A = this chain, B = another copy of it.
Amino acid sequence: MSKFLSDNAAPIHPALWEAMRAADHADNPYDGDRLSAELDERFSDLFGRDCAALWVATGTAANCLALATMCQPHGGVVCHEEAHIEVDEGGAPGFYLHGAKLMLCPGEGAKLTPEGIAALIDPIRDDVHQVQPHAIAITQATEYGRSYATGELAALTDFARERGLGVHMDGARFANAAAFLGGSARDAAGAVDSLAFGFIKNGGMNAEAVVLFDPEQADLVRYRRKRAGHLQCKGRYLAAQILAMLEGDLWLANARHANNAAQDIATGCGDRLMHPVEANELFVRLTPAEREALRAQGFEFYDWGADAARFVTAWNTRDEDATALGKAIAAL
Contacts and interface: CB of A to CB of B under 8 A. Distances in A.
Nearest to A28: B9
A272 to B, nearest CB: 23
Nearest to A60: B229
A227 interface: yes
A8 B93 CA distance: 30
Contacts of A9: 26-29, 33, 233-234, 236
Contacts of A10: 26
A42 interface: no
A21 interface: yes
A19 to B, nearest CB: 13
A8 B237 CA distance: 13
A229 B11 CA distance: 21
A222 interface: yes
A90 B224 CA distance: 8
Given A25-B11, A73-B98, A229 B58 contact: yes
Interface residues of A, number: 69
A89 B29 contact: no
B29 A3 contact: no
A271 interface: no
A229 B226 contact: no
Interface in A301-327: none
Interface in A268-301: none
A131 to B, nearest CB: 4
A228 B98 contact: no
